[in-house]
Structure 1
Amino acid sequence: MERLQKVIAQAGIASRRKAEQLIQEGKVTVNGKTITELGTKVGVNDEVEVEGVPIERERKVYYLFYKPRGIISAVTDDKGRKTVTDFFPGVEERIFPVGRLDYDTSGLLLLTNDGEFANLMTHPRYEMDKTYIVKTEGIVQRHMLKRLMTGIKLEDGKTAPAKVKELSIDKKKNRSLIEITIHEGRNRQVRRMFEAIGHPVQKLRRDRFAHLTLQGLNAGEYRELTAHEVKQLRTLAETGSLR
C-alpha cells in the first residue's frame, strides 16, 4: 500500500505537491469514489483516475549498468547522441539514470523508474559512497593525495574528505592509478579535484556504488538488481548501515 499522492507522482501525472492539491480539490477517484483525504493509501489492484483519466502504474525496476565512455547519461539527447537508455531496448518501463556519469566517464550507473529510490541514492544528506578508478597525468605525490583526503577548494566550495588509495605508478609513462571514494555528486567533481592538484584525469571509471560492483559485466551490459540489493541500498541510505 502506498499513499495516493505518491502513486500519482510516480505515474508522472504531477509532482507530489500538485498531486496533493488535485486530491484536495476532489479531482481524484479510487475505484470510482472521489477521494479528498491526503492520508489515503492504495494497493496495486486499486483503479486510480485523475480528472477522469486512469493512470498507468508500472512495476518498479532497478538496473545496474556498465556505462561505456562516449555515452550520454540521459533518457534522450537533442543532438542525437547515444544515451544510456538505448542499451535497454527490451525494457518497457520508463527508466531513467540515477544521477549521471560524464560523457567521457565509464562505469557503474543505476537506472530505475522509482523516483523515491533515485532521490535516496543521490541526495547529499544520504552520503552514498561512490568509488572511482582514476588514471592521471603525472605521478601524484603523497602530499597531494592528502589534500584530496582532507578536501579540495573548488569554485563551488570545499569538497568533503575523500578516501584515497594509490594503486600503482608508471614512471615510464608518467602517470598514476588512484582509487578515490566520495559521497558527493557535484558536476565533474573527481575530474575537477584532480585538476586542482595539477594532475588532470586521463581516464575515469566508477568502479563501485555503495557495496555494488561491476563484477560479471562488460561495458554496455546490465543486470537487474535483486530485491535484496534494493532493500540493502534503501537501508544504507536511511540508516547508514547494510544491517
Structure 2
Amino acid sequence: MQAQTSRDSAPPGRQALIWQLLSAALSAVTSGAAAPTVLDCGGGSGSFAVPLAQAGAQVTVVDISVDALATLQRRADEAGVGGRVHAVQGDVEALTDAVGSGGFDLVLAHGILGAVDDLPAAFAAVAASVRPGGRLSVLVANPVAGVLARALAADVSAALAELRALDTAFAQPGPDAVRALCRAHGLLIDQVHGIGVFTELVPGRALEQPGAREALDALEFESATRSPFCDIAARVHLLARRPAG
C-alpha cells in the first residue's frame, strides 16, 4: 500500500511543516500492500493520528486522558477512519505494557518528553517501539527560544537565569538530550528542523491580510533548516531511524 496524502487531511497553520515531515516519513516506511503502523505517544485528540489514518496508516494512540481519547475516536469516526485508529489509555513511561515493543514503522513523541518524570526511562520505552528500519519523530521545546521569550517579555533576570542554565540543562528534554538518547538507543538522526521560527512573533491581525498565512507557512518552511533562524525556533523536530540491519 502506498501512503496517500492530501491537502484536505493535512493539519493547518503552524503544524503544516510537521505534517510535511511526517508525510515524507510515512512514505519512507510504506512498502507493498501492508498498511504502515504508527504509534502516537501522548497523541491526545488526534491532530496527527487522524490525518495519518486518512493517509492509509494503522494508528495506535496512547494517552493518559480518557476524555482526549474519546475525542480522538469521535474525530476518527467522523473522518471515516475509525477502524484505522486504536485508542489505548496508558502512560508513556509504561509504554511497553500498553503496546509491547518493536512493532511500529513510525513512532511520534511530540511534546510528551517534557511531561515525564523519568526522561531516560520514557525515551527507552519510546525507542523500543521502533522496528528496524522504522522512524522516530520527536518534537521538543527549544530552550534557546525560552531565553529570547523571557527577554522579549522584559523579564531580563529570568532570561539571564535561563541562559546560564543552558550549560547544565542536558538532563532536560531539549534537542541535545534527544540527540544523546537517540545515540544511546541505536537510533540515527536523519533530520533536524526548527519549528515556529516566526509564528510566535507575527501578530495575529497581520495574518488577516490576503495571502499572509500562505506566506508565513512558506517562511517557516524555508527557515526551518537555515541558521541562525532555525536555532531560535520555539520547538525542534528531530527525525531519527533505527537501522534495518
Please give the range of the TM-score, normalised by the shorter of the 2 chains: under 0.3
Relative to the length of structure 2, the TM-score reads 0.23
Larger strand fraction of residues:
1
Q: TM-score, normalised by structure 1?
A: 0.23
Point out the structure with the larger helix share.
2
